[in-house]
Amino acid sequence: MRIALLQMQAALGDIDGNLKTIEQAAAASVAAGVSLLVSPELSVTGYGLGETIKIIAQPRDGEIVSRLQGLADRSGLAICAGFPERDGADIYNTAVVVQRSRSAEFYRKCHLYGPMEKAVFRPSDAAPHVFDLGGLKAGLLICYDVEFPEMARHLALAGADLLIVPTALPASPNNRRVSEMMVPSRAMENQVFVAYADLCGRDALFDYEGCSVIAAPDGDILARAGRGQTLLFADLDLQAYADCKAELPYLGERRPELYGALARVP
């Protein structure tokens, strides 16, 4: 499977403009033989909106998901995008994957990062799940979620081949290490591909790190972005990493009876 990651500078509150940016990336992806296009966290609305997020959030059956589904149906691509989801009085930081002629897959962020997110979003209490994606098993996480090893391990144990991680990583030396060190480590320790798609540029509240990355099950980097808007491509070939799984059988040689209690609430 060939995938594309759109590292984009989202325009705050400009749903139509951001969807057009994703549409342009979809056209380029189709021309390049891509099956999956991944855009960043809250890519449809922009991230640094503060309380405005509560005003522009939409339900799952709203215009945002409808337009993304239409784009998937027309292009044949699977498309991942982030948006603020309204569910009654609650607002969630949500990622959706739409595919042609299939029901959309949704994931709500479990680990909220920083004061802004905690002020406007409700954290999800539902664990991520695995779903079919063009012959691969995939699972969604959002940004800060991947920095908790239990989240990636949960999906790997559920059979995931690919972790799709839309993100909005603020720029800083420490945050850069998430892309440079932590994401490849998550891929290697779980023998999965990781597609980590970041925002870039700046908005009213944040500068973004960029440095989106696609990591292989042995931790190698298949593609990496710089700081500007770009479209990354990589081919995901599970068979090419069969030896890696044999040499590094972490999942099969776990001893949860020794450390399973560490994940329990005290």
Catalytic residue set: 41, 109, 143
Helix axes 149-157, 183-190, angle to 10 degrees: 30
Q: Which residues pair with 234 in a beta bridge?
A: 3
Please, what is the angle between helix 15-31 and helix 63-75, to 10°? 20
Whether 42 and 82 have beta carbons less than 8 Å apart is answered as yes
Query: Residue type for 84, please?
Result: P
Cβ–Cβ < 8 Å for 58, 93: no
DSSP string, 87-149: ETTEEEEEEEEE-TTS--EEEE-SS--HHHHHHH-PPP-SPP-EEEETTEEEEE--GGGGGSH
CA distance 57 to 54: 6
**Is 52 in contact with 16 (CB distance < 8 Å)?**
no
Determine contact, residues 183/153, Cβ cutoff 8 Å.
no
